[in-house]
Amino acid sequence: MGILESLESSGFAVWVRESPSLLAYQLYITLHTIGLAMVVGVSSAFSFRILGVASDMPLAPMERYLRFMWLGFWINALSGVVLFVLEPFKFLTLPVFYIKMLAVAVAVIAVRKIAAQVLRGPAAVRGFEPAAAKTLAVVVMASWAVAIVAGRVGAYSTYIQLQATAAAIVTGVILAIGWAVLGRRVGLAEPKAGSARSIA
Amino acid sequence: MEAVLRYILDWPSLNSFLNQNAWGWPLLEITHFFGMALLFGIIMMFDLRMLGVAKELPLAPFRRLLPWSIFGFVLSVVSGLGFTLGLGANLFGVNAYDVLLTNLYLQVKIVLIVLAGLNILFFYKSGVGRQVDEVGPGEDVPGAAKAMAAASLVLWTGVMYFGRLVPWGL
């Protein structure tokens, strides 16, 4: 028997899957949700700041929030492993599961670059290429969006997965247009490119 | 009274929209999670600053991030109303009235949202919000603001916890 089979049929996995206890499945799914809000929320805030929102706020001290972002990340990595071993073969046959893992990997790499190049280290002190930082910020937000969409639609049939993904992309495009057109007026969107204060 | 509420909470058009579009329900969920991450992540950072994390950050410019938290709240409320009022599409024929009356997790979640809202209202109406605006780099916020920040963290975490449990309360 392979390791995944033995994990899937282990006493722990059976208990987590089947017990009505709040410490079984419900604990891991709620942790996965709270961790998601921490990691995606904090890295989105970094991205907004880099894209020009709250541009009077100094960037370097935001480094202190990294530990809370990584706390959220590790809560989700660990709860994610538990949720995975409950039904490993279901996840391994879902294309969106691989898309989600890939999106998470891209987001982690990009946010680590933001941490090293924008928030701390000699590069942050010296200054850096604002355009490169903005690209990283967009990559972080886009990959978390893909990860959330892929994670959520995994609970539905393949047909619905495709349809929901298309619906999410259309909604995202509409929101992005809304941001570009209206956001500027209400002060949510970034100031004009090249603004001296947009990164400091 | 009950008949009126049942009538108000019954949205046949939403039910049939969700019945006819397989992507409707997952799209509501995706929107709810996007909104939740924005709402909680940014509020958490603001609360943590008031509790002494990243003290070098001045608080007045920090407030410019908060509209994005409000945007997240709007996304969550709109999609959340979609779940509640359109539940009949997912669980055939269920009226939101019965769900609100019987789902303990949803009830606790709504109470916690109201408390979190009152906490924010109190923060601004009591003048604490104005004091916090003046707090510069390296300075502490008043004790009352710290208490409200701690309450906010606990309340919003509770909202997410009980919110995720709602399906088990149906």
Q: Is A138 inside any structural domain?
A: yes
Q: Is B64 close to A164, i.e. CB distance below 8 A?
A: no
- Look up the domain containing A83 and give its range: 3-155
Instruction: Domain count for chain A, please give it.
Output: 1
A1-5, A124-128, B4-8, B9-13: range with lowest mean pLDDT: A124-128
Q: How far apart, in whole angstroms, are the C-alpha atoms of residue A118 and residue A60?
A: 8
Q: Which of A106, A36, A111, A130 is nearest to A77 (CA)?
A: A36
In a domain, A163, yes or no: no
How many domains does the structure of chain B reveal?
1
User: Is there a domain that residue A74 lies in?
Assistant: yes
Distance CA A119, CA B165 (A): 36
Q: In the structure, what pLDDT confidence band is assigned to residue A185 with cuts at 50, 70 and 90?
A: low
Q: How far is B83 from chain A (nearest CA, A)?
A: 15
State the complex-level ipTM.
0.94
Task: Confirm if A49 and B50 have CB atoms less than 8 A apart.
Answer: no
Query: Contact, B148 vs B130, CB < 8 A?
Result: no
Q: Is A15 a domain residue?
A: yes
A127 assigned to some structural domain:
yes
Q: Residue B118's Cα: distance from chain center in Å? A: 12
Q: Give the mean model confidence (pLDDT) for residues A86-100.
A: 93
The tokens for A61 are 């001290």
Is residue A54 one of the residues assigned to a domain? Answer: yes
Q: Is A98 inside any structural domain?
A: yes
Domain span at residue B25 reads 2-169
| Cα distance between residue A153 and residue B166, in whole Å | 18
Min Cα–Cα distance to chain B from A113, Å: 20
Interface subset of A 138-167, CB within 8 angstroms of B:
144-145, 148-149, 152-153, 155-156, 159-160, 163-164, 166-167
Rounded to two decimals, the pTM is 0.91
What mean pLDDT do residues A13-33 have?
A: 95
Distance CA B8, CA A195 (A): 50
Ranges of residues in chain B whose predicted pLDDT is under 50? none
Q: Using the beta-carbon criterion (under 8 Å), do A41 and B57 form an inter-chain contact?
A: no
Q: Is A146 left (phi over 0), alpha (psi -120 to 50) or beta?
A: alpha
Structure confidence by residue, pLDDT tens digits, A26-79: 999 999 999 999 999 999 999 999 988 998 888 889 999 999 999 999 999 999
